[in-house]
Amino acid sequence: MVGLVTNKNKHMITPQSIRKNITIKFDGVVVDKKTVIDASEGWSPNHEILFKKLLKQGGSFKINGVLVEVKPEEKTFNSRGDKDGGIQQIDAFARF
């Protein structure tokens, strides 16, 4: 194909794709962005795509015998799109 440029050294996982408040574990050990980026260099394109999906929704899978667990920040919204305030505490004796 003419005009097709590929760069096999470029990996898809970048520091910008790993947002804060996301917990990433390799075999049960919490790792930082640098470790994830270094490990992603040996991943296939399908593994990178799956990892990016898990960054958004969370989950776990195995890559090259390493269990990767991703847990994003919990976001709870009500029907109006506002952050949910949680359960309202009511005094049990103030019913009437």
Inform me whether the pLDDT recorded for 8 exceeds 60.
Answer: no
Residues of the domain holding 25: 19-71
CA distance to 12, 21, 35, per residue, from 59 (Å): 19, 15, 18
This model's pTM is above 0.85? no
In a domain, 1, yes or no: no
In a domain, 13, yes or no: no
Beginning with the edge strand found earlier in the chain, give each strand of the sheet holding 23-26 in spatial order. Answer: 29-30, 23-26, 66-71, 59-63
How many domains does the chain fold into?
1
pLDDT at site 10: 55
Inform me whether the pLDDT recorded for 40 exceeds 70.
Answer: yes
In a domain, 44, yes or no: yes
In a domain, 64, yes or no: yes
